[in-house]
Amino acid sequence: MGKPTGFLEYQRETSVAVPPLERIKNFNEFHTPLSMEEQQTQAARCMECGVPFCQAGMMLPGGASGCPLNNLVPEWNDLIYHGNWEEAYDRLKKTNNFPEFTSRVCPALCEAACTCGLNGDAVTTKENEHGIIEYAYEMGYAKARVPKVRTGKKIAIIGSGPSGLAAADTLNRRGHSVTVYERSDRLGGLLMYGIPNMKLEKWVIDRKIHIMKEEGVEFVVNANVGEDVKAADILKNYDRVILACGASNPRDIKVPGREAKGIYFAVDFLKSTTKALLDHGLKDGTFISAKGKKVMVIGGGDTGNDCVGTSIRHGCASVIQVEMMPKLPETREDNNPWPQWPRVLKTDYGQEEAIAKFGQDPRIYQTTVKEFIADKKGNLCKVKLVKLEPKKDETTGRMRMAEVEGSEYTVDCDMVLIAAGFLGSQTYVTKAFKVQTNERDNVKTEANTYETNVKNVFVAGDMHRGQSLVVWAIKEGREAAKAVDISLMGYTNIN
């Protein structure tokens, strides 16, 4: 159990971040990991609780508590503490196909549910995970392991995001022959073009894809199934199909003036930056640039924060982030007890950089857009905003954010980035495969299952559950792989 008194003897220590004004000069990851010895000391703080909420993945009010993958956190923390890094890697890989991704981009649901966090600071589980996987690559533990036996069964996976990759990796290890189709020019889906480099450098994805290729997974890029590639051909040539295309319909802001030039969806903005960065180092101006712009980001989530950080790296003149909901408290309130996910104020890297660059937090709470205003040439020049307040809906009894009468005001703005979430799967894919969808445009299945109404067609990830976290996408990919394996073999030994 690590060191029984470790949580009393050692303080929580995390990797050191490059100062904001320095790191905005490039798009690199900006944390310096702890040394192995320091990481082992941090692992000593884990008490291996009798009831380890860190690995529970339970749904409680407000979201999941603990890791949805049920990572064996106390076990590999103990192994790190005792210096058994290779065995720690084996235990970590038992539940997580891609710790190199989750240790960088996951919000650490495990740490939020850590017992040490009840009256102190949580164990550095996310960074311990990062230490395990990077040491495994360094020492060769993470090398390709080619399946010794093949079943002769062929599976097509549509989409190479985290759920598609997890399903592909799991089914390939089982011995099935897997082909992954990706409509973009690079593999990784959301990981490649939805998450900026400073959170996940793309060589990390390429490194893992290379290993999967060595293990026998086939990848086809620039293959837009449902348009360029016929669904009928996929169904004919493969024994099973898994749809893992994500929830890629961005939610729009439909107010007067929406047609003004200079308004973009966040996903298009972020993708254009990453693609240009990878293609030619942002040198030829083919991306959506915020340089010199007065930027407004609409949306207070992770994607909105990514837009703030990316705009600052472009060299924007200013940036604000508009959020409909009230500002969260700085500490847990009585109605949000541990081990629920803490609904508290989080100042992320982009907001930190805005504060350092412009001297103030970019977030404006309880506010929404009333109108976009364009100049005579049709270019966005101002945005009319309105303040909001929580009010109870007399019909439903629920609280909603209502406009405050007379609170409208305008701000100068020549670029808007809409980061208001996503609204389900794209219809051309679902229609091509003739799968049913629910009221949210997610592919419909029976509860806790992954098979669609179409024989031999399964679904996983955001396309199934709606917009969610990378760790949930991996979970869905693994579970869909089990369902496919059972349908093919009559049983499964996938754990």
- Within 10 angstroms of residue 278's Cβ, the number of other Cβ atoms is 18
Same domain, residue pair 37 and 101: yes
Same domain, residue pair 33 and 121: yes
Q: Which domain holds residue 37?
A: 6-139
CATH number for the domain harbouring residue 329: 3.50.50.60
Same domain, residue pair 286 and 343: yes
**Of 113, 130, 119, 47, residue with least CA distance to 81:** 47
Same domain, residue pair 227 and 270: no
Same domain, residue pair 226 and 286: no
Per-residue pLDDT of the chain (495 residues), as tens digits, is 668 888 889 999 999 999 999 999 999 999 999 999 999 999 999 988 888 999 999 999 878 899 999 999 999 999 999 999 999 999 999 999 999 999 999 999 999 999 999 889 999 999 999 999 999 999 999 999 999 999 999 999 999 999 999 999 999 999 999 999 999 999 999 999 999 999 999 999 999 999 999 999 999 999 999 999 999 999 999 999 999 999 989 999 999 999 999 999 999 999 999 999 999 999 878 899 999 999 999 999 999 999 999 999 999 999 999 999 999 999 999 999 999 999 999 999 999 999 999 999 999 999 999 999 999 999 999 999 999 999 988 888 888 999 999 999 999 999 999 999 998 899 999 999 999 999 999 999 999 999 999 999 999 999 999 999 999 999 999 999 999 999 999 999 998
For residue 149, tell me if it sits in a domain: no
Q: What is the pTM of this model?
A: 0.96
Same domain, residue pair 370 and 483: no
For residue 253, tell me if it sits in a domain: no
Max CA pair span of the chain: 71
For residue 381, tell me if it sits in a domain: yes
Ramachandran class of 469: left when φ > 0, alpha when ψ lies in -120 to 50, beta otherwise: beta
The token duo for 328 is 């969260």
For residue 494, tell me if it sits in a domain: no
Q: Provide the β-strand partners of residue 298.
A: 322, 418
> Cα-flanking dihedrals φ and ψ of residue 340, to 5°?
-60, 155
The CA distances from residue 239 to 225, 413, 434, 489, in Å, are 17, 53, 17, 12
Please spell the DSSP secondary structure of 169-216, one letter per residue.
Answer: HHHHHHT-EEEEE-SSSSS-TIIIIIS-TTTS-HHHHHHHHHHHHHTT
Domain boundary among 94, 110, 139: 139
Residues 6+ apart with CB under 8 A from 5: none
CATH number for the domain harbouring residue 28: 1.10.1060.10
Could you list the beta-strand ranges (E) of 236-317: 240-243, 263-265, 294-298
Helix (H) and strand (E) counts for the chain? 18, 18
For residue 147, tell me if it sits in a domain: no
Q: CA-CA distance, 169 to 212, in Å (whole number)?
A: 7
Same domain, residue pair 101 and 210: no
Domain count, the chain: 3
Q: CA-CA distance, 71 to 359, in Å (whole number)?
A: 40
For residue 148, tell me if it sits in a domain: no
For residue 188, tell me if it sits in a domain: yes
> Cα-flanking dihedrals φ and ψ of residue 70, to 5°?
55, 40
Instruction: Specify the pLDDT at position 1.
Output: 61
Instruction: Specify the pLDDT at position 4.
Output: 83
pLDDT in tens, 2-15: 688 888 899 999 99
Domain boundary among 392, 418, 444: 418
For residue 365, tell me if it sits in a domain: yes
Same domain, residue pair 411 and 427: no
Q: Map residue 295 onto helix, strand or coil.
A: strand
Please tell me whether the peptide bond between 339 and the residue prior to it is cis, using omega within 30 degrees of 0. Answer: yes
> Cα-flanking dihedrals φ and ψ of residue 107, to 5°?
-75, 5
Instruction: Specify the pLDDT at position 66.
Output: 96
**Of 148, 211, 235, 216, residue with least CA distance to 177:** 216
First-to-last alpha carbon distance for the chain, in angstroms, is: 24
Same domain, residue pair 297 and 383: yes
Instruction: Specify the pLDDT at position 230.
Output: 97
Same domain, residue pair 288 and 355: yes
For strand 31-32 and strand 16-17, is the pairing parallel, antiparallel, or unpaired?
A: antiparallel
